[in-house]
Amino acid sequence: MQDRKIRILQILVVPVAAVLVAAMFGTRARAAGKAGYTVEELSPSMSYEEYEKRYKEYYGDATARMAEEGNPADFLLDDGRDLANKVEGSKGKSCASCHGRDAMKLKGAATHFPRYDAAIKGIMTFPMQINACRVQAMGAKPLKYESYDQLALTLYIKSLSNGMPIQVSIDGPARPFYEEGRRAYYKRQGQLNFSCAICHIQYAGYKARSNLISNNKHHTDHWPSYRLKWGKTGSLQRRFRGCLKNMRAKVPPYQDEELRNIEFYLTYSNNGDLIQVPGMRM
């Protein structure tokens, strides 16, 4: 009797254990795949000098002439400064209450963004930081991402760092988010099976129809930028979303984790580039 019971138990337990072990290995394998750093090996098809030559040949002095006529995004700077001095929220404060008149003490702050933030256990972008200050320090409402006021304030405060080199750190707990961003940048996605990297690394300098594909070297140093095609000033993440749409891929909402990680990866790879906002693009 006792023997039979054990036998039944064995029959039941062994397969269940086997399934459990298999499942454990399965999830481990999947987790490794997700966090794994295996990305496609891609390298630029031409030197950066050759790329710049093609860029100049292609655009000629079009961008210089555009700049001469003035950047419409400059109008946002004044409004951004006003917003930095404006008292809002339940605590009767403005940005200037903590960061000096015209928030001048924030000179250089933008060079360290995006950065890892322990409280949100993820990447804090510059627009998010501004909203975090509004909510926590001022008791004010967050500004809707990509709204005029959010862009104006971000642009103004970032402009205080103009001419300073980007200095993003990926040390310590930031590292996995950098790796995730890199993975997302190389991930084939969408109906067209493209990745950011295949265009902006391997095929930078080639023409997709009449668009010269840009090398990603200066991708993050000039946002928010005015873009002729938009007829508006917009953020780096708006540009990401545009490329994702062209790829016929899923387009995440602003400040979604994937977009923040990509922004973190890309900005780090632009370390040393001088911040120059607002930019102006076709």
Partner 1 sequence: MNCRDKVTGKNYLLWLAAASLLLLFCLPAPGRAGDVKQGEKIAKTRKLGNCVACHYLPDVESPGDIGPNLVEAMAAYGPDDRREVTQWIVDPRKFNEHTIMPPFGANRILTDQQIDDVVSYLYTLNKKK
Nearer to partner 1, 46 or 109 (CB): 46
**Per-position x/- string for 94-133, each x denoting binding to partner 1 as judged by CB under 8 A, each - no binding:** ----------------------------------------
Least distance from ligand HEC to the Cβ atom of residue 262, Å: 5
Shortest distance in whole angstroms from residue 190 CB to ligand HEC: 8
Total residues in contact with partner 1, by rule CB under 8 A? 15
Closest CB to ligand HEC among residues 174, 262: 262
* Residues in contact with 66: Cβ distance below 8 Å, sequence separation at least 6, in sequence order: 228, 280
- The Cα–Cα gap between 155 and 148 comes to 10
Enter the DSSP assignment of 260.
H
Which residues between 207 and 226 bind partner 1 (CB under 8 A)?
A: 207-210
Distance CA 53, CA 48 (A): 9
Q: By CB under 8 A, what part of segment 28-67 binds partner 1? A: 40, 42
Decide whether 145 or 194 has the Cβ nearer to ligand HEC.
194
Residues in the chain: 282
Q: Among ligand HEC, partner 1, none, what does residue 103 contact (CB within 5–8 Å per kind)? A: none
- As a whole number of angstroms, the distance between CA 140 and CA 147 comes to 16
What residues have CB less than 8 Å from 260, skipping those under 6 apart? Answer: 114, 122, 123, 125, 128, 177, 181
How many angstroms separate the CA atoms of 181 and 266, rounded? 8
- DSSP-derived secondary structure for 94-145: -HHHHH-GGGGGGTTGGGG-SEEETTTTEEEPHHHHHHHHHHHTT--PPPPT
Closest CA to 264 of 123, 164, 167, 151: 123
If contact means CB under 5 to 8 A according to the sort of partner, which of partner 1, ligand HEC, none does residue 140 touch? Answer: none
Whose CB is nearest to ligand HEC?
A: 196
Q: Give contact residues for ligand HEC (rule: CB under 6 A).
A: 194, 196, 199-200, 208, 211, 213-214, 218-219, 236, 239-240, 243-244, 247, 262, 281
**206 lines the binding site for partner 1 (CB under 8 A):** yes
- Provide, rounded to whole angstroms, the least separation between the CB of residue 50 and partner 1: 14
For partner 1, the closer CB: 54 or 112: 54
Specify whether 243 is catalytic: yes
**Residues with Cβ within 8 Å of residue 211, at least 6 apart in sequence:** none
Determine the Cα–Cα distance for residues 279 and 218; give it in Å rounded to an integer: 11
The catalytic residues are 243
Q: Residues interacting with partner 1, by CB under 8 A?
A: 40, 42, 191-194, 198-199, 202-203, 206-210
